Structure 1
């Protein structure tokens, strides 16, 4: 199957109804404003459905300026289907219906958000399952090509639906059959809304792990990548860049993530140490495989200094928003000083945004790690950079603390001491599982782990101040505890 790319000699402004629709979408970055979108190009997909046209626009907001958090450089992917007759059951996905006198016989009158349209969903997955590429053309400004991963049994789509609740992307769930017409493993395809040049970490990391034989990640099905030019309105002569547009993998239906599993245990006062220990081991196994199949580098003095300098900068910036942090300045410096002179492991690819919500509890299979895109607020070049595995360890430790604090806040009649004990047991078990599976002495790296945990807690204070002020005491308590422990620790 071929995805056809078309050229746009100069950015074409989109009609007002599309601007107004995009402004209401959860994935649009400049909340509270209506954009003035311009298209730099588009790519299309063929479909056997009569009266249906599928095209995907690549657009940026010409109204965005330097005060809107870099929205001017954000390139959005806007998949659309145009239909001559209404899509049955598609009212919620309808973007625009042209007046009767504005469209002649046989012309499209109805415009839909394509992921909700079965015609688009089937065409997109077919591009990945069967492969395909847009024809080369010197003046094309956008094209797309699908790549399939060997081993998938999917053959035909029987149903598709959009996953609810996502913010930065749009995911389509597929029910599929194999070549013999029997039900096959369902598929989930993530359509990236904000596009970035280079490999998307979620695609690159999960694919590398699966090819290495790991069963601790969902198995990839395929991906779509594309190239485009002129994404930034301020650099119309920008070079052609390439990036990922969509990624499909096996879907694990009816499973809970580790966050929900842990919350259920914490609320009931049920021991969770066995699960936490196995999660620690699974995390270490994934780190081991990542070090095997993806680039790593030594933690030189320059790298160590730059990493700790970044932590200090984030702390100073956080103090401006969370003044309560200022009283810990001396202890924070002590923690970072100890970390810089500690024994560092090699830097490698990591998960990057690791917490209980990024792990699925799959019956009969165990833990499965998902969403390797990294911290979404970081630039892509930082998310793909080798890092210290202890950053992931620190993220999971903070997640256990959040699970316990959530129960303490939601159920004030629970014994606080019992909840704190539950969290401490989870923490110890996770570290034991990680240390046993990895062979690393985490006690010898405690100074470095403290720094990463402090860095994460400082980040959380800013997040909670901006989004959930009533939750601010949770990360503040973590900062206070880490700093108190630093005062009691012997000098390095």
Structure 2
């Protein structure tokens, strides 16, 4: 490995966006390097690297925004972002660091959108007629895991896709399909590149309007659930049910817009049965890894069998694909905006771009309401009053969301319980595996949802 690759082999596994945590890196290779910004020999450079990490017979590609400055010239506020020191081609020592923290470089990065041009295979694109406002530096958003986002004043947010997959990213594709909708942040531009071994141009980043003053859906929901449970009563009414109903209506309208803009299809009865078989396989794998799940597997299998017996074709279309309360924000005006149409980031882009049932998104949001309730119960396993209140909160908001979805023109969940129930269980099985591997103290949240849902089918209304 080169000196740079040796440094990256130590640094990359420590980053939140690295998907291969816990598995040793056997090989690191810089596959391509593109200089996006250069301020001369004494100034900072911004380089975009595509790095391939090999781990136990598999490999993944990542995007690294790498800053470099002459040695000993790194500003004090960037000292914590340093990766190491490398020799430049001219023989000079330069310190390399995480450029996402460098306000000087991020301001210059935004300027590239104002004058789009190719830079060694990397292209800055803007939508026709879009005039990019420059003059602000990027502020790094905290909390993201699989990507990195920079906010420029109150104008834009630039999301860089850390895991690199070939072809157009679904987040850009679906946001462009929804252009003009009040339910998404308006896309303004993107960065793409022709990378070695990829036939299609690969999306590296997306520039969107920033929505100032918006509130995170997960934060709003959990705060409401906590306020209800603090009351100590057994009232199921919550102040969030109106928001949940509006979110259901908004979701249905987004699904309708996607169906009007992008191709749709139907799954035959045979294809539905094959989808149910895939769910059974995932359940078997998860049960083998998490023994606590195995005791509920027979009843989950019954739900999958009901799904396999659905006797009519299942409409499919492009959907969000990773839908939950953390993927929506409530604006100052009280409406909802959907974010992150990327889909499950650890699944290939080709798979994420496949049409699916809109009820898959509905199931994801219903699971999220259960999670918001279960979040309150972590650390309180024996508090029966708290559990009753939390479950009542989830039930009320699930019902409100389903009503809103049907009223907004979506498929009425009450009339498609076999399909909805299968998608919910499939999502919960995924959650069991995730929590067992990453947050064992949260494992009870999906397990208890599976246990209670396995006893009786959900009642959306």
Same fold (TM over 0.5): yes
Alignment length (residue pairs): 443
Q: Which residue of structure 2 lines up, in the alignment, with residue 43 of structure 1? A: 34
**3-state SS of 2:158 partner:** strand
Q: Is 1:286 matched up with 2:286?
A: no
Contact 2:52 2:61 in 1 (8 A): yes
Aligned partner of 2:145 in structure 1 is: 167
Aligned equivalents of 1:240, 1:465: Cα separation in 2:
37
**Structure 2: runs of 5 or more not aligned:** 229-237
Q: Which residue of 2 aligns with 1:4?
A: none
Aligned counterpart for 2:193 among listed residues 219, 223, 226: 226
TM-score, length-normalised on structure 2? 0.88
* Aligned partner of 1:80 among 66, 70, 82: 66
Instruction: Tell me how far 1:465 sits from its aligned partner.
Output: 1.9
Q: 1:439-478 to 2 correspondence within 5 Å?
A: 440-478=411-449
Q: Residue in 1 aligned with 2:271?
A: 303
Deviation at 1:104, TM superposition (A): 12
Deviations 1:56-78 (A, max 9, x none): 2222135x332xxx2x2x11222
Q: CA deviation at 1:54?
A: 2.6
Mark the CA change 1:289 to 1:18 in structure 2 (over 3 Å): closer, same or farther: same
2:330 to 355, 361, 364: 361
Q: Does 1:57 align with 2:43?
A: no
Displacement after TM superposition at 1:417 (Å): 2.4
Relative to structure 1, the CA distance from residue 384 to residue 31 in structure 2 (aligned partners, 3 Å threshold; closer, same or farther) is: same
Corresponding residue number in structure 1 for 2:394: 423
Note the 1:185-200 alignment, pairs <5 A.
Answer: 185-200=154-169
Cα distance in 2, alignment partners of residues 415 and 166 from structure 1: 30
Aligned to 2:18: 28
Output one character per residue of 1:201-246: Cα deviation in whole Å (capped at 9) or x when no partner.
1111112112xx21101111210010111xxxxxxxx464421111
CA gap 1:439/1:383 in 2 versus in 1, 3 angstroms: closer
- Using the size of structure 1 for normalisation, the TM-score is 0.83
SS at 1:166 equivalent = coil
* Structure 1 Cα separation of the partners of residues 458 and 214 of structure 2: 43
C-alpha separation in 2, matches of 1:260 and 1:204 = 28
Deviation, structure 1 residue 14 = 3.3
Contact 1:23–1:35 (CA<8 Å) still a contact in 2?
A: no
Shift of 1:379: 2.1
SS in 1 for 2:12: helix
Cα pair distance change 1:351/1:15, threshold 3 Å: closer
2:123 to 145, 167, 177: 145
Task: Please give the alpha-carbon distance, in whole angstroms, between the structure 2 residues aligned to 1:319 and 1:413.
Answer: 28
Aligned to 1:390: 359
Does structure 2 conserve the Cα–Cα contact (< 8 Å) formed by 1:209 and 1:217? yes
Question: Residue 294 of structure 1: CA displacement?
Answer: 1.4
Q: SS in structure 2 opposite 1:112?
A: strand
* Distance change >3 Å, CA 357–CA 12, structure 1 → 2: same
Pairwise CA distance, 1:335: 1.4
Q: Is the 8 A contact 1:14 1:37 kept in 2?
A: no
Cα deviations across residues 101-142 of structure 1 (Å, max 9, x unaligned)? x7899946332222222343133323333322246xxxxxxx
User: Pairwise CA RMSD of aligned residues?
Assistant: 2.7
After superposition, residues 214-293 of structure 1 pair within 5 angstroms as 214-229=181-196, 238=197, 240-269=199-228, 270-293=238-261
Residues 12 and 39, structure 1, Cα contact 8 Å, conserved in 2: no
Using the TM superposition, give the Cα deviation of residue 164 of structure 1 relative to its aligned residue in structure 2, in angstroms. 2.0
Secondary structure of the structure 2 residue equivalent to 1:368: strand
Structure 1 residue 339: Cα displacement: 1.4
Among 91, 97, 112, the residue aligned to 1:112: 97
Instruction: Tell me how far apart the structure 2 counterparts of residues 487 and 51 of structure 1 sit (CA, whole Å).
Output: 61
Q: 3-state SS of the aligned residue for 1:353?
A: coil
Conserved in 1, the CA contact under 8 Å of 2:322 and 2:344?
yes
1:30 and 1:478, CA in 2 relative to 1: closer, same or farther beyond 3 A?
closer
3-state DSSP class of the match of 2:194? strand
Structure 1: how far apart are the matches of 2:333 and 2:221?
18
Q: Secondary structure at the match of 1:419?
A: helix
Q: How is 1:403-414 mapped onto 2 (pairs within 5 angstroms)?
A: 403-409=372-378, 412=383
Instruction: Assess, with a 3 A threshold, how the Cα gap between structure 1 residues 366 and 487 changes in structure 2: closer, same or farther.
Output: closer
**Aligned equivalents of 1:118, 1:106: Cα separation in 2:** 27
- Determine which of 90, 101, 107 is the counterpart of 2:78: 90
Q: Distance in 2 between matches of 1:466 and 1:103?
A: 41
Identify if the C-alpha distance between structure 1 residues 386 and 239 changes in structure 2 by more than 3 Å, giving closer, same or farther: closer
Cα distance between partner residues in 2 of 1:148 and 1:416: 50
Unaligned 5+ segments in structure 1 are: 1-10, 136-142, 176-184, 230-237
1:128 aligned to 80, 101, 113, which one? 113
Match of 1:19 in 2: 9
